[in-house]
């Protein structure tokens, strides 16, 4: 197996195993009776688990297993980004609760050009869930915020936590595959690599601000282009084609 194939299959397995681990954490707490014993009390946790199960099933059934930067045209559609965030907020609230954290969802109203985005829904869920999962994992106490706001005409997803933070000199390296800072926690250093690959393929930008001991904010920027859309458009498709050819050339040489 080539290094690239190994990386592609590792990222794919990563995005299946991480949610499965999250489900295990939730089930352990629910079975201990931490959130009550009646069906009514535990139902939100079961619904969150079901949602994770459905999300992972969609990923496993997707045809997008050969290259993580490639967009699957059959999965590209017009999405309401706020609805996607609301789904992930509901799903990850259960995991956050298991770590005694509050997970908030906030949206600017009105958004200047709405929340509609053209994107591969499976890729976008992979990107967002990896950043949200990190915010929960690297925060001991306090809050995690998911926000949808505008910066000028751009649409921006902010994921902010009150966790341990990242030293400035480490910030440029955290998106590299297999790069990890907080080695005591479990992981393999692939979540942010996946997030960055998805961002690049969709013409998005990810910016990180962090203060050690105070917290971290990831901003995922959907630029408002001259084609008056967020997400994929003709220009980005063409760039992505060029990028894929470049990767193929590198593999051959
Ligand atoms: N919100 C955050 N707060 C503090 N550190 C973070 C945060 N997000 C990422 N990091 C740091 O960046 C590193 C890389 O993150 P990444 O998600 O790629 O890998 P990981 O979480 O270690 O493992 P996994 O492969 O399970 O995602 C992490 O090891 C962690 O040290
Ligand atoms: Mg991670």
pLDDT in tens, 113-161: 999 999 999 999 999 999 999 999 999 999 999 999 999 999 999 999 9
Residue with the smallest CA separation from ligand 1 atom 29 is 180
Is any atom of ligand 1 closer than 6 Å to the C-beta of 14? yes
pLDDT in tens, 171-185: 999 999 999 998 888
Residue 205, burial from CB neighbour count under 10 angstroms (0-12, 13-18, 19+) = middle
Is any atom of ligand 1 closer than 6 Å to the C-beta of 18? yes
Residue with the smallest CA separation from ligand 1 atom 20 is 189
CA of 218 to the centre of ligand 1 (A): 12
Tell me which of 139, 191, 214 to substitute to probe ligand 1's pocket, judged by most ligand atoms within 8 Å of the beta carbon.
191
Is any atom of ligand 1 closer than 6 Å to the C-beta of 45? no
Name residues whose C-beta falls within 8 Å of residue 236's C-beta, 6 or more positions apart in sequence. Answer: 202, 203
Segments of the chain with pLDDT less than 70: 1, 63-70, 242-253
Ligand (nearest to CA of 192):
1
Name residues whose C-beta falls within 8 Å of residue 173's C-beta, 6 or more positions apart in sequence. Answer: 179
**Helix residue spans in the chain (DSSP H):** 3-31, 39-61, 81-98, 121-137, 191-201, 234-252
Identify the bridge partners of residue 154 per DSSP, sorted by sequence position: 151
Query: Structural domains in the chain?
Result: 3-252 (3.30.565.10)
**CA 210 from centre of chain:** 18
Which phi and psi (to 5°) does residue 141 adopt? -140, 155
Name residues whose C-beta falls within 8 Å of residue 25's C-beta, 6 or more positions apart in sequence. Answer: 95, 98
């Amino acid at each position: 197996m080539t290094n690239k194939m190994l990386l592609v299959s590792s990222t794919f397995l990563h995005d299946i195993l991480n949610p499965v681990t999250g489900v295990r954490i939730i089930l352990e707490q629910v079975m201990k009776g931490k959130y009550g014993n009646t069906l009514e009390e535990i139902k939100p946790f079961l619904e969150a688990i079901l949602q994770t199960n459905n999300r992972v099933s969609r990923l496993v059934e997707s045809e997008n297993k050969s290259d993580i930067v490639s967009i699957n045209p059959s999965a590209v559609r017009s999405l309401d980004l706020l609805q996607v965030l609301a789904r992930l907020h509901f799903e990850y609230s259960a995991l956050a609760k298991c770590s005694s954290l509050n997970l908030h969802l906030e949206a600017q109203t009105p958004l200047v050009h709405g929340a509609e985005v053209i994107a591969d829904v499976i890729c976008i869920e992979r990107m967002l869930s990896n950043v949200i999962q990190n915010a929960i994992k690297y925060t001991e106490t306090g809050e995690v915020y998911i926000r949808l706001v505008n910066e000028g005409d751009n649409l921006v997803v902010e994921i902010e936590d009150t966790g341990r933070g990242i030293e400035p000199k480490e910030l440029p390296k955290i998106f590299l595959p297999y790069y990890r800072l907080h080695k005591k926690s479990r992981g393999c250093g692939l979540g942010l690599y996946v997030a960055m690959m998805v961002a690049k393929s969709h013409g998005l930008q990810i910016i990180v601000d962090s203060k050690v001991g105070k917290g971290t904010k990831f901003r995922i920027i959907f630029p408002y282009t001259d084609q008056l859309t967020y997400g994929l458009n003709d220009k980005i498709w063409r760039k992505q084609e060029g990028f894929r050819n470049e990767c193929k050339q590198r593999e051959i040489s």
